[in-house]
Amino acid sequence: MQYSKYYSVMADGTIKQINPFTDNEVWSVPGRRGKPPAYHQVNEPHPLQPGDKTSFCAFCPDRLFDTPPEKSRLVHNADGSFHRIDHLTPTEVKHQPWFFRRVPNLFEIVTVDYWKKNYSYYISPGNLAWKEMYLSQEAGFHHVLDVLRYKLRASGMPEDRIHAIPDQDFIAMSDAFFGGGHELVIAAPHFTADAVNVSELFSSGDMTPEEHYHYLHFTIDAMKDIFASNRYIRYISVFQNWLQPAGASFDHLHKQLVGIDDWGASIRHQIDLLRQDPNIFNELGANLASMQNLIFAENEHAIAYTGIGHRHPTIEIFSKSNHARPYEHSDEEIGAMSDLIHACHAASGSQISSNEEWYYTPIDAAYQMPWHVLIKWRVNTSAGFEGGTSIYINPIAPLELRDRLVTNLYSLRYEGKISGNIRIAEECGMRPNPLRYYLK
Ligand SMILES: [Zn+2]
């Protein structure tokens, strides 16, 4: 295998990289690497006012009716365990504490009309019963109308036209909430427990490893339900945009799930590569990273390394399981992925804006690709040079990113803030072909 094609260090220190899965051409240039990446300044750090911790934005715990009706929530029991409750009534939602909520996205990327008009989709009997239950309660009916009116107002519709819409039309429009396929998983805290100013946001890395495991498991439960509710969905895009430079509308921690009727070009291309070489995710993923000493963390069922050929500094976390879809993983395997994702977020720190993106074998693919999660630090912006040449300048070379993460991981492990089962740097196995996705 000619690994130098993908990663080569020139005499002056320039690192030229080609991403084997996207063909992206990326350089890390010595003079530009010296300067530290711009940390995202969240806001002017003015002090928190009373009530801010629970009502700062529309995702906050005191503003339950600013989002569309809740599909599900995860409740923290007194003994530390969690349990899930689905489809609470509008009265019950106010009286049950929660740590994660799952709600429809008010502004869908792929709308319920897309499914209805293109596929004659109709909402499942279970979701229809939930819709009828929710709307039969006065508080539920008003909640749905209020949120729909807000949405129409935000789209620029004049007030007199909104008020002329008959209730029946609003009831039909609410199918987007009860049968749509674009959802949010929201964590309860907006700020950390001891925050005193608005920049002290609660991030993935601020959870305990166990809380993070439930965050992931709850998201995977949502995937299962979205597939079960709409048989035309062929892939669910799962991602987390952290802070505004990463595309987040709110600085309040949440993941998104979007059901689509297609795999998207990126997954299609990766499946094409698999047809040519079933072992490609080992060969040009883990093995290439191992030969360049980029693997920095590992546990029983997952492995993490810094990625080659990305526009932004990127962490890649791969499941080692022979199960190729998140919802086919055992709880223990999900736990291992969760521990590494959590540790990587914690090592990045809450002030780094990032995209977390999930990739996995589509429901209808005959070739298996491993479940993997990329965390991209959104610390740089492409400019004219990139536009003109299609050569991207990444301000942090993979080895430098690895070193920053390793230093932080050691401290976090010492402080007991990440899972104690994670092997760091030289403790990792580094054996060839660590990914077992192609085994039945
Ligand atoms: Zn909030």
Q: 286 CA to middle of ligand 1, Å? A: 38
User: Averaged over 210-236, what is the pLDDT?
Assistant: 97
What is the β-pairing status of strands 391-393 and 25-28? parallel
Weakest-pLDDT range from 94-98, 112-116, 357-361:
94-98
User: Averaged over 30-44, what is the pLDDT?
Assistant: 57
Dihedral Cα 158, 161, 165, 170, nearest 10 deg:
-10
CA dihedral (176, 180, 182, 185) positive or negative: positive
pLDDT above 90 for 31? no
Q: 251 CA to middle of ligand 1, Å? A: 7
What's the pLDDT at 28? 92
pLDDT above 60 for 5? yes
Structure tokens at 94: 């106010």
Q: 331 CA to middle of ligand 1, Å? A: 29
pLDDT above 80 for 162? yes
pLDDT in tens, 281-315: 999 999 999 999 999 999 999 999 999 999 999 99
Q: With H, G, I as helix, E, B as strand and everything else as coil, classify residue 260.
A: strand
The mean pLDDT of the chain is 94
Q: Which of 326, 325, 304 is nearest to 218 (CA)?
A: 326
CB-based burial label for 38 (10 Å; 0-12, 13-18, 19+): middle
pLDDT above 70 for 388? yes
Q: 189 CA to middle of ligand 1, Å? A: 7
pLDDT in tens, 53-109: 999 999 999 999 999 999 999 998 888 899 999 999 999 998 888 999 999 999 999
What's the pLDDT at 30? 82
What's the pLDDT at 395? 92
Q: 216 CA to middle of ligand 1, Å? A: 20
What's the pLDDT at 156? 96
Distance CA 83, CA 73 (A): 8
Strand partners, 206: none
Q: 188 CA to middle of ligand 1, Å? A: 8
Q: At what angle do helices 209-229 and 331-348 cross, to 10 degrees?
A: 120
pLDDT in tens, 324-341: 999 999 999 999 999 999
CA dihedral (229, 231, 232, 234) positive or negative: positive
What's the pLDDT at 35? 52
What's the pLDDT at 3? 87
Place of tokens 């999930």: 358
What's the pLDDT at 430? 82
CA dihedral (348, 351, 353, 357) positive or negative: positive
Q: 348 CA to middle of ligand 1, Å? A: 21
Q: 314 CA to middle of ligand 1, Å? A: 27
Contact 310, 371 (CB under 8 A): no
Q: 351 CA to middle of ligand 1, Å? A: 16
Q: Which residues fall within 8 angstroms of residue 139, CB to CB, at 6 or more apart?
A: 90, 91
φ and ψ at 255, to 5 degrees?
-110, 160
Q: 319 CA to middle of ligand 1, Å? A: 31
Q: Which segments of 76-120 does DSSP mark as H helices, in order?
A: 92-95, 112-119
Q: With H, G, I as helix, E, B as strand and everything else as coil, classify residue 31.
A: helix
What's the pLDDT at 311? 95
Q: 87 CA to middle of ligand 1, Å? A: 22
Weakest-pLDDT range from 190-194, 282-286, 288-292, 387-391:
387-391
Distance CA 399, CA 405 (A): 10
Q: 357 CA to middle of ligand 1, Å? A: 22
Structure tokens at 180: 């749509």
Q: Which residues fall within 8 angstroms of residue 171, CB to CB, at 6 or more apart?
A: 135
Q: 54 CA to middle of ligand 1, Å? A: 7
Q: 49 CA to middle of ligand 1, Å? A: 13
Percentage of the chain beyond pLDDT 70 is 97
Q: 185 CA to middle of ligand 1, Å? A: 13
Q: 387 CA to middle of ligand 1, Å? A: 36
What's the pLDDT at 393? 93
* Distances, alpha carbon 156 to alpha carbons 57, 144, 227, in Å: 21, 19, 33
What's the pLDDT at 383? 83
What's the pLDDT at 80? 84
Q: Is the pLDDT higher at 12 or at 34?
A: 12
- 405: confidence class by pLDDT, cuts 50, 70, 90: very high
Q: 86 CA to middle of ligand 1, Å? A: 22
Q: 182 CA to middle of ligand 1, Å? A: 19
Q: 187 CA to middle of ligand 1, Å? A: 9
Structure tokens at 155: 């789209």
Q: 347 CA to middle of ligand 1, Å? A: 23
Q: 53 CA to middle of ligand 1, Å? A: 8
- 266: confidence class by pLDDT, cuts 50, 70, 90: very high
pLDDT above 70 for 41? no
Q: 304 CA to middle of ligand 1, Å? A: 30
What's the pLDDT at 375? 98
DSSP string, 308-356: SS-SS-EEEEEE-SS--SGGGS-HHHHHHHHHHHHHHHHHH-TTS-EEE
pLDDT above 80 for 34? no
Q: 207 CA to middle of ligand 1, Å? A: 16
Q: 412 CA to middle of ligand 1, Å? A: 26
Q: 214 CA to middle of ligand 1, Å? A: 20
Q: 58 CA to middle of ligand 1, Å? A: 6
User: Averaged over 386-412, what is the pLDDT?
Assistant: 94
Q: 342 CA to middle of ligand 1, Å? A: 21
